[in-house]
Structure formats: C-alpha cells, structure tokens
A and B are shown apart, each in its own frame.
Chain A
Amino acid sequence: MKSLEELRELRAELEKEISARNSEGKPKIIIGMGTCGIAAGARDILQAVTQELRKRNLDVITTQTGCIGMCEQEPLMDVQLPGQDRITYGKITAKDVERIVVEHLINGNVVAELAVARLEEGGV
C-alpha cells in the first residue's frame, strides 16, 4: 500500500464483493417464486438476472417472493428503484431481462409494454 488513494481505489472495487450484505438504499429486483412462478420458468429468470447483473457490474439486491395471486402473469419480476414505485413485469422471458435491466434499472424508464402493475412506494 503506497498511498491512501490506492487503498480507497481498492476499496471501491472490493465494496461490491460484500454489497449483498447491505440492502439499504439500493435498487431491488424481486422474482416471484411461488409454485406458479417456478412452473412458468422463474428459475431461468433468476439465473438470467444474476448473469445480467454480473455482466454489467451492478450493485442490486436480488430477492425472491411467493405467489401474489397473479399466477396468470407469471413469471413475474418486480423492479424497485430507491424512493420510487415498485413496478411488476409479467410474462417475461429470459430475453426480456436484459431489456428491463438496461431500460429500467440503469436508465430509470419503466418498460411500459411489459409492466402489469405498479405498487406505490411505501405500499405493501
């Protein structure tokens, strides 16, 4: 370690390694993993999300949830940016994942044609 700057640069790089342990103020992706979701291919979606986040080096919290009743629309994937409404995307495929990540997660624009619901921030 030759300077304080070197340490700080290294830390900026390393912080991502433990970032999954701190969820505060971070964007979130939630995948429906009820029986309906799994049957409709939610597992593939989850893997595609992990790949996509890894590829683009993004610091995003990925969690799963159970059936929310919209089984018809599975696989469901929610995206929530900090302080914004939670958007539910329905009937998505592994291919849609990249588009949602780029347009919504990175650029902040909801992909309207895939969205099926909007939960207001602070709502359940």
Chain B
Amino acid sequence: MNPKFYRSHVLVCTGTGCVSSGSNSVKDRLLVKLEEFGLQDEIKVVETGCHGFCEQGPIVIVYPEGVFYCRIQADDIHEIVEEHLLKGRIVHRLLYTEQGTDARIPAYSDIDFYKKQHRIVLANCGRIDPESIKEYIAAKGYEACGRALTEMTPEEVIAEVKKSGLRGRGGAGFPTGLKWEFTRQSPGEKKYVICNADEGDPGAFMDRSLLEGDPHRIIEGMIIAAYAIGADEGYIYVRAEYPLAIRRLEIALQQAREYGLLGDDIFGSGFSFELKIKKGAGAFVCGEETALMASIEGQRGMPRPKPPFPSVSGLWGKPTNINNVETFGNIPDIIRRGAEAYRAIGTEKSTGTKVFALTGKINNTGLVEVPMGMSLREIIYEIGGGVSDGRDLKAVQIGGPSGGCIPANLLDLPIDYESLQEVGAMMGSGGMVVMDDSTCMVDVARFFLKFTQSESCGKCTPCREGTKRMLEILDRLCSGEGREGEIELLEELGEHIIATSLCQLGGSAPNPVLSTIHYFRDEYEAHIKERRCPANVCAGMAAPYVIDEAICIGCTACIRLCPTGAISGARKQPHVIDPQLCISCGACAVKCPVKAIAQG
C-alpha cells in the first residue's frame, strides 16, 4: 500500500515573483475546488520555488503530462480542475503562446524559453517542494554529501572541485577548489564556511530564487565545503529583505538537523557541522567579503584591506571560506556526477553553467541558466524572446553596478569570464539588463553610479569622494549643464578610483560610466556640445512636444492632463504647447486619441 500515490501532481509556483502576481490565492482556490470535485485523494498540490519564467506568472504545472499553464488567476482554477484534472482535457486558452505566433504550447519542455537552457543549479527549482526535505532527497539530494563524507577524503573533495574548473559565481571568478585548498592549508583548529547571499545588484534575483526554490542544495554544498576545508561551523549571510528565502532556509535547516544532516557525526563519518543564518540589514557593501564578516561579528559593515585574505584570517580571525550561493549550488552535482561530466559543459576556462536574471526591455523577463560560452544573441533572442515592443536593442548591462554595458554590435560575444572582461564588463553576480533604443546611456551610467555612491561605506577616500564627484558631473551632463573636458575628467577620476579604492565596491563603481563612455562617447558629447539628449530621456534637454494642428481634433484631453499647464486652445480648435513650459513628460502624447502629438 502506498498512500502517497497520487495520479496527478499540480505544481503551483510560490516564488516571490508568482506570489506577487497572485499565486497564493490560486493555490487556495485549487484546494477548495479539488474538494468540491472529490479529487483531493487523487491529486496532490505542491508548492514549488521559482520556474524562472516570472514574466508568465503565476505558473501552474500539471503532471504527469507536464502541461504548463501561465498567468493563472484564481478564477481560472475551476476550469483547470473540471476540464483537465477531472476529464483530462487540456485547457488551451491558458497555455503559453510563443512570441510572435499563435501556437499554444502545452508541454513545459517545448517552450523556447526552456529548450535552450541547461539547468544544473536550478534543476529542482519549480520541480520540488522547497519546504520538503523528502522531495529533495527523492531528487537525489544529499547523495553527494553522503558520498563525500563517507567515501572521500577532504583532499579528494578539493581535488574533484579543482578538476571541475568551477569558478566563483559571485562575480570575480576565482577558482573555487583553489580557494578551498588555501583555507584547508591554513593553520588553525577552528575554521568557518560562509555563504554570501547578500544579493544587492539592481535587477539581480538569482540567489533569492535559488534559496527560495531549493534551499537544501545550498546547505548540501556548504556541508561538503565545510568537510573539505575542515570547518565545523558555518553562516548563511542573507539580507533581511528576503523574508521568503529566510523562512524556507529556516525550515530547511530545521529539517536537515532532524535528519541528522547537520549536527554531530553526519553519516556516521565522525564529521560534525552546524549552520546558522545571519540576517543582514541590506547594505550593498556587506556583499564584500571582509565587510560581510565584520557584520557577522556585530561590527559596522566595512571592508578592511586584503591581505590577509579570509582563507588565512577571516571571521573572528579564523581561516574562513566564503562562496556565493550559486557556487555552493554547483557543488552537489560536481561530486555526484563527477568533475569530468561537469567540465564537459561550458568552455575550456569557464566550465559549467551560469544563472542570469534577465530584466529590462525584454519579452521574457526571468531567470535562466545557460552553459558558459553561449552568445548574448542566443540568450536575448532565443531564450529571452527579443526586445519588448519590437524596438531595437541598444545595449546590455551585465554585472550590475560593478559591470559594464555591452553594445548591440557585440551581440555574438560568448558569455564567459574572459570575454566579458575583455569588453570592459564583468560576470558579476549575473544581472542582465536589456536596454532598447529609447535608453540614454549617460542616464544609465548615472543610475548605477547613484546606486554605488549612496551605498559607499565611506571608509576610503577614493570611493567616498570620487564617486560623489563623478556623480555630480553626470548630474550636470543630464541636466544640460555639462562642460567641455568633463568626459576626460570622468575617465581620469574613474581610473583613479578603480586603482586606489579599498574594496571592490569602489574598485568597480566607475565601470558603468567608463564602459558607456567607451562605447557611446558620441552620446556623452551630444549632451555637452549640443546640449541634446539623443534618446530624449534627460529632462531639461529633451525636445518639447509639438501638436500637429492638421491632426488635432481639439478634444482638450491633453489640456486637462498636462501637469504644467503648458497646453492651451479652445474646444474643437487645434491646441498649442508652450515649449517654455513643456517638461517633455510625454503624458499628452500617450493620451492623445488621434496621435497628433510628438516630440519636436
């Protein structure tokens, strides 16, 4: 007898994205409707983590068929239950439609967004219940941990990770196995392992999704790391504004303790390990490892000079190994399937996969995992479905506030650590912001610099003062008050800040500015020399709107809407915009029923 057998499983995504588009009420309605139709003993409802396709949320998957329903609201549930679950008829109107076609695609695996992905780290996200250790174990979870602890020596584990070629997924790309070896070789009885989940880049949400969708994978990776370096205590440093991730981690830690996967004598190996969560207050600088450790120690989150590196003197002066969430997420697979199998994915120097958070002006916003070396073009057009509203691609911002902008003409660039560095961007944690031709690159640079400037901890002068001065210049440029020579000044300041800042916050803050100057210098020049913003974004420089008198029907809609009262004219007479008062907000052009208004 197997009371756990259900002929069908209905998976409802309860990642943060889908919850905010209403998946909790979808799930509640589903439970009610299943009872109503007497199906509660035949069909199991499972809450899962993020499927990555947040654009299409809330997402509901019905197994065994693997049918992918998207943008489901509570009112759609009756139909799914009655038609699909009871009678076996797929509800076609709720299926996914591929961009630019009318074809409805029932199967998860046939959707372009998923077809080209290679999911290792995200393999369980959206497939298992993150609050159930049983489902994780059923999906081969903790097998790698068991093998490492009982069948391998710490040195063998390190050798395997080194052989896999895995590099840090937090941004810099330092070889993970080497880092572990340094920490193992450091003298000292007490050692620590830390998971850096202080994800702070605007537009990045892969760590959050991973912690929410498959927390046991991270715990397993950390146990293996602790065994390899000889640590008996660990911390997961996660920001407090990720409440769901923290809640699921807490549940996962509790379960792991109950199953004896944390605590004393794990797998009868004699190895003991305890893991705690440390909630951060959400300061960007705490993503820097030395600042992060200061924060765990209860001090103000500020970086300190390196060396000594954490592997020698880290948390409370003890040898410490810090890795990013995604890095730990790769470990179980490397041990379970072997370094050779892992190496087979990706490129020679950048092995494995990378998770990217696709955002901005792209059709398929979401989380994707692709083999290293895939071209930007494939990611944006074949997985991401192209630029939204049919506009042209202008640039892709990679690596968040530490990264750079890659112009559209470099679309065939393979995405790996070296190639990105060569063009002045960096892998960063994996944020990928797509920008179309309506974007002003000076404004983008200003946005990112404003972020790092306000997140600068203030400890070292280049970062504290330098980013402030750079931001002042960009503010001037964007308001049409730029002066000759300021582009060169930005470059000079940027180079000095990079060379002399204490930590990588300052050391990378000028990147968005320098890379946009490098690829879009003409836009900077237009802001200064012509007092013009080519993309018509920068307020104060954008051309005022003009009404075409031949088209205007005199409906007064724009007059009533204009926030500055710049529009005048009698009913049924052509209206006129006063260019002195117009702030180029564009509200009138959107409202106009006959499209008589455009930027002059």
Partner-B contacts on A (CB < 8 A): 1-4, 7-8, 10-11, 14-18, 20-21, 23, 31, 33, 38, 43, 46-47, 49-50, 53-55, 57-58, 61-66
Contact = CB atoms under 8 A, between A and B. Distances in A.
B7 A7 contact: no
B268 A57 contact: no
A21 B4 contact: no
Interface of B: 1-9, 11, 41-42, 44, 63-66, 86-89, 127-128, 134-135, 137-140, 142-143, 146-147, 150-151, 259-261, 265-268
B147 A4 contact: yes
B260 A54 contact: no
B65 A1 contact: no
A85 B382 CA distance: 38
A100 to B, nearest CB: 16
Contacts of B6: 20, 50
Given A3-B268, A4-B267, A62-B8, A47 B42 contact: yes
- Going nearest first, the 8 A-B pairs with the smallest beta carbon separation are A64-B88, A14-B138, A57-B2, A4-B146, A62-B7, A1-B260, A33-B88, A54-B5
A33 B89 contact: yes
Most buried by A among B87, B89, B135, B260: B87
Given A4-B150, A63-B65, A17 B266 contact: no
Nearest to B150: A4
Contacts of A49: 7
A58 B42 CA distance: 14
A35 to B, nearest CB: 9
Contacts of A10: 137
A39 to B, nearest CB: 12
A82 B396 CA distance: 47
Contacts of B135: 14, 17-18
A123 to B, nearest CB: 19
Most buried by B among A1, A15, A66: A1
A51 B261 CA distance: 35
A4 B87 CA distance: 43
A5 to B, nearest CB: 9
Given A2-B268, A4-B147, A66-B89, A18 B139 contact: yes
Most buried by A among B5, B259, B261: B5
Given A1-B266, A4-B147, A10-B137, A62 B261 contact: no
A47 B85 CA distance: 12
A65 B134 CA distance: 32
Given A3-B150, A49-B7, A57-B2, A64 B87 contact: yes
Contacts of B267: 1-4, 7
Contacts of B127: 21
A11 B140 contact: yes
30 contacts: A1-B261, A1-B266, A2-B260, A3-B268, A4-B143, A4-B146, A4-B147, A7-B146, A11-B137, A11-B138, A11-B140, A16-B4, A16-B5, A17-B4, A18-B128, A20-B6, A20-B64, A21-B66, A31-B88, A33-B88, A33-B89, A46-B42, A53-B5, A54-B5, A57-B5, A58-B5, A63-B64, A63-B65, A64-B88, A66-B89
A38 to B, nearest CB: 7
A21 B88 contact: no
A11 B5 CA distance: 15
B167 to A, nearest CB: 29
A31 B87 CA distance: 9
A52 to B, nearest CB: 10
A63 B5 contact: no
Contact of B138 (A17, A31, A43, A58): A17
Nearest to B63: A21
Contacts of B2: 16, 54, 57-58
Contact of A54 (B3, B66, B128, B147): B3
Contacts of A58: 2, 5
B137 A53 contact: no
A98 to B, nearest CB: 14
